[in-house]
């Protein structure tokens, strides 16, 4: 039952990640933050890590229901295998949606030495034991990055996964107290596995897409049955044979590197070209908007008032108002949003004394970005209205 509880908890964590993504999307849409989750992964990435693997004490149960079994020696009850700290290595390939959610396929390898085997009735064991346990396999993971407002250098994440792992016992042996017999196992068995993941990433600002990762992983598998023989010492002659059922639970701490391909580069500073010397020079004003908003800020109203005042001074014949949006959302929605922004600016120009008949309004959606970005990237300089005095 404890193993089943772990599996259910890991599954619940994985199923809850899409809901967390939706919640964070709403969280960052609040005007008070005005910060996009810019430090989450968009597109394909690769990762690798290595560290220390701590294997929990393993419960061992002989299967004496089979004919022959280990029962003739009186081996019964339960035993416990104790392991030394070992090594873990992980490699992964994944894809990030840009909203915090990531999906990946992972391969991993863990190795621990057997330190002690205790327990069992009928074959009292002493502390002399040796052998190696290796655990390797493939997992599919779902992870979620938490973007912290104003903290682009630190991204915590959680996740979970499920897959299939093979466990290999290589020369595992435990000797009884008189030293006349031993239990020996050498086999490879596979079983369903699950894991829970928690960690954080620290990006290298000098190399967009590259990040240092540190994480903890809990990996559990369903029990496996290992072929085991009781042999006489020192001859090694077989006394009895059967299987031993063994549990598995790993705690891993890793450091690693992750590289995300095609990450957005830092937005360049837009250069303002000087107005050409002409009899009727065109003057351009930029009014910026919050994400998914078409209402005017106090700074926007000040810029529009300056444009209206200058329009009278240079005796303009028309005023072109062009609305734009960034590349989040659908093309149809952003087209409507860009027109709403343009109409808001035109209405403010009229309140500043400009005739509505002198103003033309059009929306371009996200087709004419000031700063080119990938689809789904929130770019403040693209959420704008351009006022051009002709």
**Rounded to an integer, what distance in angstroms lies between the CA atom of residue 39 and that of residue 154?**
8
Q: At 282, is the pLDDT very low, low, confident or very high (cuts 50, 70, 90)?
A: low
Collapsing DSSP to helix, strand or coil, 356 comes out as: helix
pLDDT at 259 over 90: yes
pLDDT at 119 over 50: yes
pLDDT tens for 65-118 read: 444 566 666 676 788 889 999 999 999 999 999 899 999 999 999 999 999 888
Question: Which tops the pLDDT comparison, 272 or 111?
Answer: 111
Weakest-pLDDT range from 140-144, 232-236, 254-258: 232-236
User: Per residue in 203-222, is it b (16+ CB within 10 Å) or e — as a string?
Assistant: beeeeebbbebebebbbbbe
State residue 276's pLDDT score: 57
**Rounded to an integer, what distance in angstroms lies between the CA atom of residue 141 and that of residue 128?**
39
pLDDT tens for 283-332 read: 788 999 999 898 988 899 998 888 888 887 877 778 899 999 999 889 99
Mean per-residue pLDDT of the chain:
82
State residue 27's pLDDT score: 40
> All domains of the chain, ordered by start, with CATH?
2-260 (2.40.160.20), 283-389 (3.30.1330.60)
Please, which residues have CB within 8 angstroms of residue 208's CB and are 6 or more apart in sequence?
A: 263, 264, 265, 266
Q: What percent of the chain has pLDDT over 90?
A: 37
State residue 14's pLDDT score: 44
Mean pLDDT of 167-173: 89
pLDDT tens for 355-370 read: 888 889 999 989 989 8
Check: pTM over 0.75? Answer yes or no.
no
Q: At 230, is the pLDDT very low, low, confident or very high (cuts 50, 70, 90)?
A: confident
Mean pLDDT of 186-191: 89
pLDDT tens for 22-61 read: 444 444 343 333 333 456 788 999 999 999 999 999 888 8
Query: H-type helices in the chain, by residue range?
Result: 2-28, 298-313, 331-351
pLDDT at 281 over 70: no
Range among 143-147, 179-183, 237-241, 277-281 with highest mean pLDDT value: 143-147
**Rounded to an integer, what distance in angstroms lies between the CA atom of residue 129 and that of residue 370?**
69
Q: What percent of the chain has pLDDT over 70?
A: 80
**Rounded to an integer, what distance in angstroms lies between the CA atom of residue 37 and that of residue 327?**
14
State residue 126's pLDDT score: 67
Question: Which tops the pLDDT comparison, 387 or 111?
Answer: 111
Please, which residues have CB within 8 angstroms of residue 340's CB and are 6 or more apart in sequence?
A: 294, 323, 363
State residue 163's pLDDT score: 97
Mean pLDDT of 149-159: 90
Which H/E stretch holds residue 56? none
pLDDT tens for 234-252 read: 777 777 777 788 889 999 9
Weakest-pLDDT range from 157-166, 216-225, 226-235: 226-235
pLDDT tens for 200-212 read: 999 998 888 899 9
**Rounded to an integer, what distance in angstroms lies between the CA atom of residue 103 and that of residue 101?**
7
State residue 176's pLDDT score: 74
């Amino acid at each position: 039952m404890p193993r089943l509880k772990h599996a259910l908890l890991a599954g619940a964590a994985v199923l809850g990640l899409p809901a967390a993504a939706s919640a964070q999307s709403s969280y960052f849409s609040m005007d008070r933050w005005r910060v996009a989750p810019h430090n989450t992964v968009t597109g394909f990435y690769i990762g690798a890590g290595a560290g220390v693997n701590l294997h929990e004490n393993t419960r061992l149960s002989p299967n004496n229901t089979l004919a022959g079994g280990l029962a003739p020696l009186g081996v019964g009850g339960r035993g416990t295998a104790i392991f030394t700290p070992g090594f873990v290595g992980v490699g992964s390939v994944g894809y990030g949606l840009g909203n915090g959610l990531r999906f990946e396929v992972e391969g991993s390898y863990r190795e621990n030495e057997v330190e002690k085997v205790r327990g069992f009735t009928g074959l009292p064991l002493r502390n002399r034991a040796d052998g190696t346990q290796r655990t390797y396999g493939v997992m599919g993971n779902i992870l979620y990055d938490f973007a912290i407002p104003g903290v682009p250098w630190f991204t915590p994440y959680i996740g979970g996964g499920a897959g299939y792992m093979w466990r290999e016992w290589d020369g595992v042996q435990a000797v009884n107290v008189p030293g006349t017999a031993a239990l020996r196992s050498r086999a490879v068995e596979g079983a369903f596995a699950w894991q829970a993941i928690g960690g954080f990433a620290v990006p290298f600002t000098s190399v967009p897409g590259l990040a240092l990762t540190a994480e903890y992983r809990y990996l559990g598998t369903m029990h496996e049955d290992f072929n085991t023989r009781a042999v006489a010492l020192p001859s090694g002659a077989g006394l009895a044979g059967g299987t031993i059922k063994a549990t598995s639970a790993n705690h891993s701490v890793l450091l690693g590197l992750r590289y995300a391909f095609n990450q957005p580069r830092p937005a360049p500073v837009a250069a303002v070209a000087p107005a050409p010397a002409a009899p009727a020079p065109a003057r351009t004003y930029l009014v910026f908007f919050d994400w998914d908003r078409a209402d005017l800020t106090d700074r926007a109203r000040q810029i529009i008032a300056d444009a209206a005042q200058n329009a009278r001074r240079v005796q303009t014949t028309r005023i072109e108002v062009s609305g734009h949006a960034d590349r989040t959302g659908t093309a149809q929605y952003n087209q409507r949003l860009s027109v709403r922004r343009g109409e808001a600016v035109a209405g403010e120009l009229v309140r500043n004394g400009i005739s509505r008949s002198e103003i033309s309004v059009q929306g371009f959606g996200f087709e004419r970005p000031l700063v080119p970005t990938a689809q789904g990237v929130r770019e403040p300089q693209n959420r704008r209205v351009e006022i051009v005095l002709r």
